[in-house]
Structure 1
């Protein structure tokens, strides 16, 4: 790649940039290309599970992109997640768990990381598993008031959550990945 030029199109909640550059094709010819790139920062996500009860904690909240696609209420059921602060995925997800779900957990297990939409978004998502017990609940959760979050905390049996994947009730990619990871690796067997 050569002659890379960057134009910032928006720098509000996140940054949207247009890159113009020359790309060397397989035939040795240079071709000018333009791409828009959305940088919202990296994130972390966790599947909270209780192996004794065979249950998982998920959240439900309004998502404007879902609503803008014509989904009636814009609500999405998903695993607890958050944008990294200070580039520490583990500390971020432990804090997000307490803010969003009301559970105070101390130990998490990182299982993978992934680009979620590399054609246009810079985000790398760090995936975790974390076991919870009922005694670890310290609040009702619901999200941080300062972040205008209105999160519903939901507890499902593992079987219910897998059925929700199969019937399309869970359409969030990060949640789908974590539930399938749990199924493939016998986490709740």
Structure 2
């Protein structure tokens, strides 16, 4: 059997591309072909692609108090499901041109939670939903003190209304298990914390 990744981006032939919607985000329609695993070529087909910039997400963690900060805010994409559309999430923001993920992390921590990260540990980069969008998430865990954390935050002109919660690490793990936290970035970060919690409590307690 062949090994993975026998094809690359250069093997994709985009015959035509047009923008079908341009608003806060952009939607393109593509006509394309690419090689098949059986040695043939895929007939020309069309796909719509949601053009969305990369984002940075951070789980704030205090290793001394063994607590995390979670942000609660309204999310339109959760409306219409059998749950509240107010979700528990990480500190997060879109990467602006010329910004590093670490710079985004610090900016958003201040705007969304009144926090400053003393350290950022990289968890991973992952594609959100590559079947239809270009977005990549840069995911971190950040060192904070939760002693005075919590409260209402957000940027008014961006229509943000964010409630910052301080919860124990154990309670946060329980929220993953029972589904109270059900968005990908938070799930990945919290499960990473479960695996790395003891190490962080040793390395970060200085």
Both structures adopt the same fold (TM-score exceeding 0.5)? yes
* Counterpart in the other structure of 1:109: 121
Matched, 1:27 2:39: yes
Instruction: Decide which moves more: 2-11 or 53-62.
Output: 2-11
TM-score normalised by L of structure 1: 0.90
**What is the correspondence of 1:13-162 to structure 2 with a 5 Å cutoff?**
13-25=24-36, 26-67=38-79, 69-71=80-82, 73-86=84-97, 87-134=99-146, 140=151, 142-162=153-173
Please say if residues 158 and 188 of structure 1, whose CA atoms lie closer than 8 Å, have aligned partners that are also in contact: no
Q: Which has the larger radius of gyration?
A: 2
In the TM superposition, residue 105 of structure 1 has moved relative to its aligned partner by 2.7
In the TM superposition, residue 172 of structure 1 has moved relative to its aligned partner by 0.8
Unaligned ranges ≥5, structure 1 = none
Please say if residues 69 and 146 of structure 2, whose CA atoms lie closer than 8 Å, have aligned partners that are also in contact: no
Unaligned ranges ≥5, structure 2 = 1-11
Change (3 A) 1:157 1:71: same
SS of 1:133's equivalent? coil
Instruction: Decide which moves more: 101-110 or 149-158.
Output: 101-110
Runs of 4+ in 1 over 6 A off after TM superposition: none
SS of 1:20's equivalent? strand
TM-score normalised by L of structure 2: 0.83
**Cα distance in structure 1, aligned partners of 2:103 and 2:95:** 9
In the TM superposition, residue 141 of structure 1 has moved relative to its aligned partner by 5.2
**What is the correspondence of 1:147-186 to structure 2 with a 5 Å cutoff?**
147-186=158-197
The size of the alignment, in residue pairs, is 187
